[in-house]
């Protein structure tokens, strides 16, 4: 698995870049975001990458941050979401904003993202809501916001953030700050919303 590439930016096109690494040109498909498109030709560029293997192709996808790469991985677990749709979502939405849309079940907002219609927006909420709250199935947003006492809201929030690609230490620090601000009675939804503002 190719997880990271660093090389000279030899070419940039619509939705892709070509990195010159030791005289070999690697074509890497990237989201259409300012972070991905800003580097000038001949500068050094580093990307977090994911290699997608198909019967007829080996395709590299690249991301400027670990959070984007983590969201790409998460999106590919959803039925009906392939690499192209995942790239489209990343082109239209930052990882933190996407997480908020899922947590608050904003299917209208999700439906406005590139390549996402009404049905897929509902599927994103249903499938990812459970992944962002490990061990809990078939719950509504109200259930998620009012986590039972048997589940530690701090740990649950950390798990939600790490599933999106944030480092565990970084996520834990953000959640601890949120807990200090909100108090010991803060629930998962409150902690998550506050932590996202500091990440």
Specify the DSSP element, H or E, that contains 69: helix 66-75
Cβ within 8 Å of residue 31, ≥6 positions away? 15, 63, 68, 87, 90, 91
Give pLDDT, residue 187.
83
Tell me how far CA of residue 136 lies from CA of 55, 126, 143, in angstroms.
Answer: 35, 12, 10
Specify the 3-state DSSP secondary structure of 43: coil
The ranges assigned to domains in the chain are: 4-63, 66-199
pLDDT digits (tens, 9 = 90+) for 176-192: 899 889 988 888 878 88
Give pLDDT, residue 48.
92
- Return the CATH class of domain 4-63: mainly beta
Give pLDDT, residue 150.
37
Q: How far is CA 36 from the centre of its chain?
A: 15
Q: What is 93-122 written as a DSSP string? A: --HHHHHHHHHTT-HHHHHTSTT--HHHHH
Q: Which CATH superfamily is domain 66-199 in?
A: 5' to 3' exonuclease, C-terminal subdomain (1.10.150.20)
Residue 159: both structure tokens together: 């798990």
Spell out, as residue ranges, where the chain has pLDDT lower than 70: 33-40, 130, 132-151
């Amino acid at each position: 698995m190719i997880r990271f590439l660093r090389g000279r930016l030899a070419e940039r096109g619509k939705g892709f870049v070509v990195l010159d690494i030791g005289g070999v040109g690697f074509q890497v498909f990237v989201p259409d975001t300012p972070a991905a498109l800003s580097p000038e030709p001949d500068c050094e560029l580093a990307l977090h990458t994911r290699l997608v293997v198909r019967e007829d192709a080996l395709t590299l996808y690249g991301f400027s941050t670990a959070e984007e790469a983590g969201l790409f991985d998460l999106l590919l677990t959803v039925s009906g979401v392939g690499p192209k749709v995942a790239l489209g979502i990343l082109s239209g939405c930052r990882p933190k904003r996407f997480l908020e849309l899922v947590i608050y079940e904003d299917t209208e907002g999700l439906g406005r993202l590139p390549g996402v219609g009404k049905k897929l927006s509902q599927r994103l909420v249903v499938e990812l809501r459970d992944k962002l709250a490990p061990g809990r199935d078939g719950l509504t947003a109200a259930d998620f916001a009012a986590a039972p006492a048997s589940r530690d809201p701090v740990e649950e929030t950390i798990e939600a953030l790490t599933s999106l690609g944030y480092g565990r230490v970084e996520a834990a620090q953000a959640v601890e700050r949120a807990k200090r601000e909100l108090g010991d009675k803060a629930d998962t939804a409150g902690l998550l919303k506050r932590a996202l503002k500091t990440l």
